[in-house]
Amino acid sequence: MPPDVVALAAAVVLLAVVGGFAVARERELRRIRRLVRVRAGQSIEPALEATRGRATEAERQARLQAEELAFLVALVGTGVIRLDGDLNVVSANRAAHLFLDAPTGSLPGRHVPDRPPARLDGPGDAIVTGLGDVRLDAVARTAARNGSAADDVASGGPDGRILSVRARRSPSGDVWMILDDLSELRRLQRIRTEFVDNLSHELRTPLTTVRLLTETLTRDLEEIDVPPRVVDLVQKIDVETGHLVQMATELLDLARIEQGGVPQLYIDDVELAPVIQGAVDRLRLFAERQHVRLRSEVAPDLPVVLGDGERLGQLLMNLLHNAIKFSPGGGDVTVRARPTPVPGTPGLVTLEVEDHGVGIPSDDLPRVFERFYKVDKARVRGGGGTGLGLAIVRHIAEGHGGRVSVESVEGQGSTFRVELPAAPPVPSVDRPGAGTSR
Ligand code: ADP
How would you classify the pairing of strands 175-181 and 79-83? antiparallel
- Give helix then strand counts, H and E, for the chain: 9, 12
CATH code given to domain 186-261: 1.10.287.130
Pairing relationship of beta strands 403-409 and 413-421 according to DSSP bridges? antiparallel
Ligand 1 atom nearest to CA at 392: 6
- Using a 6 Å cutoff on CB, does residue 371 contact ligand 1? no
Give me ligand 1 centre to Cα 315, in Å.
13
Residues 335 and 315: their CA atoms lie apart, in Å, by 12
With a CB cutoff of 8 Å and minimum separation 6, the contacts of 42 are 33
Residue nearest to ligand 1 atom 19, measured at CA: 322
Mutate to test the pocket of ligand 1, among 314, 360, 371, 415 (most ligand atoms within 8 A of CB): 360
**Please, which contacts does 145-150 make with residues 24 or more away whose CB atoms are closer than 8 Å?**
none
Determine the pLDDT at residue 128: 57
Look at residue 257 in the predicted model and tell me its pLDDT.
Answer: 67
**CA separation for the pair 327, 330 (Å, rounded):** 5
Q: How much is the pLDDT for 336?
A: 97
Is the distance from the beta carbon of residue 331 to the nearest atom of ligand 1 less than 6 Å?
no
Question: Which superfamily does CATH assign the domain made up of 76-114+128-181 to?
Answer: PAS domain (3.30.450.20)
> Is any atom of ligand 1 closer than 6 Å to the C-beta of 175?
no
Q: Is the CB of 386 under 6 A from ligand 1?
A: yes
Q: CA torsion sign, 363 to 381 to 323 to 319?
A: positive
C-alpha 413 – ligand 1 centre gap (Å): 12
Ligand 1 neighbour 314 (Cβ under 6 A) = no
Sign of torsion over alpha carbons 49, 51, 54, 58 = negative
For the entire predicted model, the pTM comes to 0.52
* Atom 4 of ligand 1, nearest CA residue: 385
The residue whose CA has the least distance to atom 13 of ligand 1 is 374
CA atoms within 13 A on the CB side of 153: 25
Question: Is 358 touching ligand 1 by the criterion CB < 6 Å?
Answer: yes
With the CA atoms of 319, 324, 329 and 330 taken in that order, what torsion angle do they form, in degrees rounded to the nearest 10? Answer: 120
Q: According to the model, what pLDDT value does residue 201 have? A: 77
Distance of CA 405 to the CA centre of its chain: 21
Q: What confidence score (pLDDT) does residue 388 get?
A: 77
Identify the pLDDT of residue 432: 45
Which atom in ligand 1 lies closest to the alpha carbon of residue 386?
2
What CATH code is assigned to 262-426? Answer: 3.30.565.10
| φ/ψ bin of 245: left (φ > 0), alpha (ψ from -120 to 50), beta (otherwise) | alpha
pLDDT of the residue at 259: 66
Q: What is the rounded distance in angstroms from the CA atom of residue 324 to the CA atom of residue 241?
A: 19
Residue-level pLDDT at 189:
80
Which atom from ligand 1 is nearest to the alpha carbon of 387?
Answer: 8
CA distance readout (Å), 397 to 30, 84, 285, 319, 406: 86, 51, 26, 12, 13
**To test ligand 1's pocket by mutation, which of 374, 379, 409, 418 has the most ligand atoms within 8 angstroms of CB?**
374
DSSP string, 10-66: HHHHHHHHHHHHHHHHHHHHHHHHHHHT--TTS-SHHHHHHHHHHHHHHHHHHHHHH
Atom of ligand 1 nearest to the CA of 369: 6
| Phi, psi (degrees; rounded to nearest 5) at 150 | -155, 155
Q: Is 237 within 8 Å of 214 (Cβ atoms)?
A: yes
* CA 354 to ligand 1 center in whole angstroms: 13
Question: Per-residue pLDDT for the chain (438 aa), expressed as one digit of tens each?
Answer: 677 888 888 888 888 888 888 888 888 888 888 887 888 777 888 888 888 899 999 999 999 998 988 888 888 889 999 999 999 999 999 999 999 989 999 999 999 998 876 655 544 444 556 898 888 999 999 999 999 999 988 876 666 788 999 999 999 999 999 999 988 888 888 888 788 878 877 887 788 888 888 888 888 888 888 888 988 888 888 878 877 887 787 777 777 766 665 556 777 889 999 999 999 998 887 888 789 999 999 999 999 998 899 889 989 999 999 999 999 888 999 999 999 999 988 999 999 999 999 999 999 999 999 877 888 755 554 444 667 789 889 988 998 999 999 999 999 999 999 999 998 876 655 444 443 333
Q: What is the pLDDT of residues 40-89, one digit of tens each?
A: 777 888 888 888 899 999 999 999 998 988 888 888 889 999 999 999 99
pLDDT of residue 62: 93
Query: Closest ligand 1 atom to the C-alpha of 391?
Result: 6
Give the domain ranges of the chain. 41-65, 76-114+128-181, 186-261, 262-426
The type of residue at 291 is: H
Is any atom of ligand 1 closer than 6 Å to the C-beta of 388? yes
